[in-house]
Structure formats: C-alpha cells, structure tokens
A and B are shown apart, each in its own frame.
Chain A
Amino acid sequence: MNKVFANAEKAIFDIKDSQTIMLGGFGLCGIPENSIAALVKKNVKNLTCISNNAGIDDFGIGLMLKNRQVKKMIASYVGENQEFERQLLAGELQVELLPQGTLAERCRATGAGIPAFYTPAGYGTEVAEGKETRAFNGKMYLLEHAFESDFALIKAWKGDTYGNVMYKDTAKNFNPMMAMAGKITIVEVEELVETGELNPNEIHTPGIFVDRIFQGRDYQKRIEQRTTKK
C-alpha cells in the first residue's frame, strides 16, 4: 500500500468536524507545521486537540484557535497565547489540563494497547477529581486512561516510503508516542527518502505505526525564547 502523499492537504483530506486530533510538539519545537496550515485552510471545526501546548497567537495551534476551529484543548501548559485566554474566559473553549508526564503516558498507553494505568502525578490535587485512586506499597496513585484519537499529526526529521521515521534533538518530544496513538497517523518529514536508505538501527518510529507520510515544505521552525551566550 502506498503511504506517500504529495502534500499536507492531500494527506489530511478526510479529517472531519468534531474529530479528535493529537498534534506533536513541545512549544513550537517539532510541531506539524504543514498539517496545521492545511487544517486551517480546510477549516474543519469543533476539533478536540491533544497537544502539550496550544501554540502562540500567530503560530502553531494558535492559528487554528484564531480560526475558531478548536472546541476543546487537552494540554499541560497553555500560556503565551492571548487568543486562547480570551476564548477560555469567554466560555468559547474548553480546556483540560494534565500533568505533562501523564499526558505523555496517556498518549503512549493509547498506542500500546493499554487502556489505563496508575500514576502518582496529581494525587491530592484537582487533577484527581473524579478519578479512581488506589494505594500501592503505601503510596497513592490515580487511574488515568488512554485517549481515543482519530488522527495523529506528527513532525519528524527523516522518513522513508514505508513510514519509518527519525526525529531530531528535542523536536522528538511528544511525536513518537502520538505517532503510535492515532487511529490514522500522518507524518510530515523534512526529508523523505527511498525505503532502504535509513539505517534500521536508527529508526525511532517503525513504519507499522505510520499510515501516511509526506515531504513537508517551507518550515519556519520558530523559536519562542531565542537565548544566546554573550
């Protein structure tokens, strides 16, 4: 089966209103820039987005927020975004905040066939409200569940036509777990190569998890906090 698509618009052709989408990235690092741009153009609405952050006002998921496409955001940190704040305070946007490690592990569980797991993070806090708790060896834990995600939109560094991919540096972040977790996983890569060109020892996400792959273009790779040594 051919997994290679010509571009983002073609790869996301069947994303529909009211679906749940995972988006890789930490801040603006390792976000699926091309797929986000295509989603904005396609103008699908009422999306539930699962991503560590919600972008900034004029980039990343912030572009989808500005276009009023997001109904609910599931994230661990949503600062640095005024439009997000405005929609939240106006009651136009729902938000579910989760501890970052819980968010990561819930994505991992989704892709690993694990329906739920116990974690200590959030015990005794408002994150625990309504969640089952249990003691193991005298310490308290919360039951956290896997997600249901229609699509996962992933950004990788290099990939091949089988969908095997590698990530670069800290642009890895949430991408490998989310790549395993989408009912349909769509990966954009900076460099798409022929099958056999990547070293099997260096594959981070094996192609079995990847349904669609395309060569991305015009990456901006914006930096939120450019900090340099004097």
Chain B
Amino acid sequence: MLSKNQIAQRIAQELQDGYYVNLGIGIPTLVANFIPSGMKIHLQSENGLLDMGPFPTEDQVDADLINAGKQTVTVLPGGSFFDSSISFAMIRSGRVNLTVLGAMQVNDKGDIANWKIPGKMVKGMGGAMDLVASAKNIIVAMTHCSKNGQPKLVSELSLPVTGLSCVRKIVSDLAVLEINSEGFLITEVAPGIEPSEVLKQTQGRVKISSSVREISL
C-alpha cells in the first residue's frame, strides 16, 4: 500500500513543465513536495495567489499572505495576487492545467462526492464545486476504502454529489485507476498488491487494464 506521501509522489508524475496547478487540502497539498527539479510549476491558491511558495520562516510570517487552507505561505518571484472573482475566472475558463482533490466517494461515471456527510455538521463546499465543474484535468487522491473497509469507489454515490462526470483519474493507496465510458480501469497497482485485490475493493463497473503494471516511484 502507498503512504500518503507516496500517493502524492505518484501524482507528481502527472506534472508537466509550465503547468498551472491547484492542490486541495490534505494529500493533494503534499504533491508540492515532489515537483521534479528543473520543472516550473505554478501553484494556484483559489483565495487569490499564483506562484505560491513554501511555508514562511518565523520572521517571514505575514497575516495578509495565506493559502486556501488559511495557512501562512510565501509568494515566489513572478507571483501575483488577485481577487476571488479573477481566481475563479482562471478556474472556470479552464486555464488551470491540473486540479488535485480529495474525495469521500467517486462513482464509475466520474461523479465525485467530497463536501457533505448527511447528519454531520455541514461546513460548506468552498471552491470544490467550481473546481470540479470546470477543470479539464482532475486527479483524485484518496484512500481506496474507508476506515471501516467500505469501498469509496462505487457504482452509485450515497453521499451528496459535488460535481458530475468530472474525475478522469484516481490515485489511491492501492492503485491508479482511469475512468472512461466503460467505468473504472485499473492501470497500475501498488507494490505488493494484486490487481485482483484492487478489483475486489472497487465497486461498480471495473476492469483491469491489459497493460496493468506496478506503480513506480
């Protein structure tokens, strides 16, 4: 099984030089630690920042400079600040090349649920609905099953939907899966995990790719 850092490391292999990338809270944030050296990636934070830099040192901390997770951050040379409507203009118009999100459930049509659990306090969707409605390239970073072993890749969402037919790729602790018109396709598996095991842990329409291979990190 992949650790959270290894999931992030695998997702980082999807980066291409010059990409504008929005990373969600949680595992997606870790992707920033695995950007290949020599590659220029522009991190977009939807509260109004392009070319987000690393966390500040204690004496660089500035309350006016935070990321979408409300953490103090820095801005890299070449960066820019903008208001929230411009930030979401970038997102809705498809200029953000890659969006990495967490999810509670994804179904075999690529619908995603990640904002609300009925019966629990609703905190809100933040920017997630805007991101999933418009991004062309969404990768979901998630654990394959819930803590009590329930598959999170399903035929039908039981949780409220965030966006329809938007996820094209999933990197879980067990496997890399693509979603096409025929459902989930297992393309890579974590070291030590059999494709048949991933198949068992995945609900809905699911196939093993004829060229399935081990994830290499």
Tell me the A residues contacting B by CB distance below 8 Å. 26-30, 52, 75-79, 85, 88-89, 95, 97, 99-105, 107-108, 119-127, 157, 167-177, 204, 221-229
Smallest Cβ-Cβ distance to B59: which chain A residue: A228
Specify the main secondary structure of chain B where it touches its partner.
loop
Q: Given A29-B70, A226-B61, is A97 in contact with B130 using a C-beta cutoff of 8 Å?
A: no
Q: B126 to chain A: which residues have CB within 8 Å?
A: 76-77, 99-100
Q: Given A29-B47, A122-B129, is A100 in contact with B84 using a C-beta cutoff of 8 Å?
A: yes
**Stretch from B13-21, B32-40, B161-169, B203-211 at the A interface:** B161-169
Q: B212 to chain A: which residues have CB within 8 Å?
A: none
CA distance A173 to B71 in the complex (A): 15
Q: Given A125-B162, A223-B72, A228-B61, is A101 in contact with B83 using a C-beta cutoff of 8 Å?
A: no
Min Cβ gap A107→B in Å is 7
Q: Are B83 and A173 in contact (CB under 8 A)?
A: yes
Q: How many A-B residue pairs have CB under 8 A?
A: 172
Q: Are B48 and A173 in contact (CB under 8 A)?
A: yes
Min Cβ gap B184→A in Å is 20
Q: Are B130 and A223 in contact (CB under 8 A)?
A: no
Interface residues of B in 107-166 (CB under 8 A from A): 111, 121-130, 133-134, 160-164
Q: Are B123 and A172 in contact (CB under 8 A)?
A: no
B197 in the interface (beta carbon within 8 A) = no
Min Cβ gap B60→A in Å is 8
Q: Given A101-B88, A225-B70, A229-B54, is A123 in contact with B164 using a C-beta cutoff of 8 Å?
A: yes
Q: B111 to chain A: which residues have CB within 8 Å?
A: 124
